């Protein structure tokens, strides 16, 4: 945990942003795999970690706005649990570590919420995403479990986003720890990427590095020689010469902050000229968008700049044609770059996505664009100092999408379908991703930069 002052300050910030009522921050429970006592790796709720820091199941945090008191509802472990799990700190000792003096047994939460409802007090909660917490909210509020998300507090959602989106120095330290683990994951993948190796061997080895680093991967590892499938979790292929392996992975730091990087490397260690040509377009889109990432600029405009760079590059190799800005306006680049440039990152790899992507990534001034491709942009609004984001441009050759666009004549004035089909249909996909802190007047890559220039990658792969 951080020092207790960090949690006290965060709760005070939240209190100042909220009008009145009772804020419930529900921690997570254990989640069963195939029978009740066989659980998945426990992951605490990110808002609970942010405001209370206790990384143990079955805790509820309460921030009483009206009475200026913070409380924890949880049970001390009983003798049976001590026998199986060893001695555990008391709830009051854990609560003290995050600056909370008021603690109660778990079931007392029902008395609290019943009393609040009887007095007409507002109960604020975030959108629940796990079944147990939906049912718990039903028990507390009477709202049907399936409809509890609809009753999440918009006031609370906006207040939390306003605080969590600006990263504190202690959070940057954690993210850089996650980046260091991610660095080792990627460099290991580079060294293992040889013809004849099964993808799963590499995916398993790098997942082990995340686990050894203190926690778990920040999301299920994407690793495939079929990188044109954007989130490819199938790792059953044997690596073939001539293909490229796309690895998109990151780790959680000991306090659960994320890293998220992507590298795409040639199986066997040497880029062909054709691979280099496409790779260097993606690299330019990454480097140039990092260079213009700074406070006051909308991320939507940076995404569109990536689209422009990709369109220019694809025109240079003959895959696109026509006026660049017209092509971007028409969304023609999205056949090759069908996703957003990036997203916020913090305790969640897609930070705060559970609160609602549009609330996190957009505001009244910047609204989502619903054109194919840009519609997947998770973050569009103006950047502020202290945001942590990832930039992850890519170029992909997706046969099903190529066929659809060609048969329907979509953007045929901007795409050279003959060349796409004749020479690039089996190319795969390239994505490159770095984690970036928005600084006072620019931006900075977090962690040591994982080898990315083609000569650096070839050197590491030859070791
Ligand atoms: N890098 C994986 C993702 O952002 O979804
Ligand atoms: Mn990402």
CB of 20 closer than 8 Å to CB of 65: yes
448, 431: one domain: yes
Q: Could you give the number of structural domains in the chain?
A: 2
Query: What SS3 state is found at 380?
Result: coil
192, 112: one domain: no
Kindly give the parts of the chain with pLDDT less than 50: none
Nearest-atom index, ligand 1, CA of 249: 1
CA distance 345 to 97: 26
Helix (H) or strand (E) holding 279: helix 273-291
Nearest-atom index, ligand 1, CA of 219: 2
Domain closes at, from 99, 129, 164: 164
64, 17: one domain: yes
- 15 backbone dihedrals φ, ψ, rounded to 5°: -55, -40
CATH (domain of 50): 3.40.350.10
Q: What is the pLDDT of residue 13?
A: 98
Q: What is the pLDDT of residues 90-118, one digit of tens each?
A: 999 999 999 999 999 999 999 999 999 99
Domain closes at, from 112, 147, 164: 164
448, 393: one domain: yes
Residue nearest to atom 2 of ligand 1 (CA): 248
Nearest-atom index, ligand 1, CA of 431: 1
319, 384: one domain: yes
The model carries a pTM of 0.97
Q: What is the pLDDT of residues 5-56, one digit of tens each?
A: 999 999 999 999 999 999 999 999 999 999 999 999 999 999 999 999 999 9
Q: What is the pLDDT of residue 214?
A: 81
CB of 222 closer than 8 Å to CB of 182: no
CA angle (284 as vertex; 342, 199 as ends), nearest 5: 65
Q: Does residue 343 come out as left (phi exceeding 0), alpha (psi in the -120 to 50 range) or beta?
A: beta
Q: Residues with Cβ within 6 A of ligand 1?
A: 248, 260, 262, 343, 392, 433
DSSP 378: S
87, 151: one domain: yes
CA distance 315 to 436: 29
Q: How far is CA 139 from CA 109, 134, 418, in A?
A: 10, 9, 61
CA of 378 to the centre of ligand 1 (A): 11
Q: What is the pLDDT of residue 174?
A: 98
User: Which residue among 210, 389, 429, 433 is best mutated to probe the pocket of ligand 1, counting the most ligand atoms within 8 A of its Cβ?
Assistant: 433
CATH (domain of 417): 3.90.230.10
Domain closes at, from 112, 146, 164: 164
348, 438: one domain: yes
Structural domain that includes position 82:
4-164
């Amino acid at each position: 945990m951080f020092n207790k002052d960090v949690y006290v300050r965060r709760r005070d910030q939240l209190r100042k942003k909220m009008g009145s009522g009772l804020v419930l921050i529900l921690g997570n429970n254990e989640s069963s795999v195939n029978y009740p006592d066989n659980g998945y790796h426990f992951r605490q709720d990110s808002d609970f970690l942010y405001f209370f820091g206790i990384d143990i199941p079955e805790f509820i945090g309460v921030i009483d706005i009206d009475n200026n008191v913070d409380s924890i509802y949880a049970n001390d472990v009983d003798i049976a649990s001590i026998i199986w799990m060893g001695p555990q700190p008391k709830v009051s000792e854990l609560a003290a570590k995050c600056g909370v003096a008021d603690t109660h047994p778990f079931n007392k939460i029902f008395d609290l919420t019943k009393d609040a409802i009887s007095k007409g007090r507002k109960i604020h909660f975030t959108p629940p995403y796990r079944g147990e917490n939906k049912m718990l909210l039903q028990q507390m509020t009477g709202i049907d479990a399936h409809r509890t998300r609809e009753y999440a507090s918009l006031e609370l959602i906006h207040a939390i986003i306003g605080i969590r989106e600006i990263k504190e120095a202690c959070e940057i330290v954690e993210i850089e720890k996650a980046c260091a683990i991610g660095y080792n994951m990627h460099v290991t993948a580079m060294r293992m990427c040889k013809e004849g190796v099964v993808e799963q061997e590499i995916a398993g080895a790098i997942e082990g590095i995340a686990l050894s680093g203190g926690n778990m991967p920040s999301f299920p590892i994407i690793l495939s020689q079929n990188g044109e499938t954007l989130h490819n979790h199938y790792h059953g292929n044997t690596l073939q010469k001539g293909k490229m392996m796309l690895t998109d992975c990151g780790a959680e730091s000991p306090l659960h902050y994320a890293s998220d990087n992507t590298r795409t490397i040639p199986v066997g260690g040497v880029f062909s000229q054709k691979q280099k040509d496409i790779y260097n377009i993606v690299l330019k889109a990454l480097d140039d968008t990092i260079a213009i990432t700074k406070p006051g600029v909308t991320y939507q405009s940076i995404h569109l700049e990536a689209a422009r760079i990709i369109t220019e590059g694809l025109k240079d190799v003959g895959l696109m044609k026509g006026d660049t800005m017209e092509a971007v306006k028409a969304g023609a680049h999205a056949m090759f770059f069908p996703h957003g440039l990036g997203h916020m990152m913090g305790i969640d790899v897609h930070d705060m996505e559970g609160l609602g992507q549009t609330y996190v990534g957009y505001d009244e001034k910047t609204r989502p664009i619903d054109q194919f491709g840009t519609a997947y942009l998770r973050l569009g609004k103006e950047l502020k100092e202290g945001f942590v984001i990832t930039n992850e441009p890519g170029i992909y050759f997706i046969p099903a999408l190529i066929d659809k666009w060609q048969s329907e004549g979509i953007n045929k004035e901007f795409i050279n379908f003959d060349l796409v089909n004749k020479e690039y249909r089996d190319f795969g996909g390239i994505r490159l991703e770095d984690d970036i802190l928005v600084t006072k007047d620019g931006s900075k890559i977090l962690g040591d930069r994982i080898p990315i220039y083609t000569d650096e990658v070839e050197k590491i792969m030859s070791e």
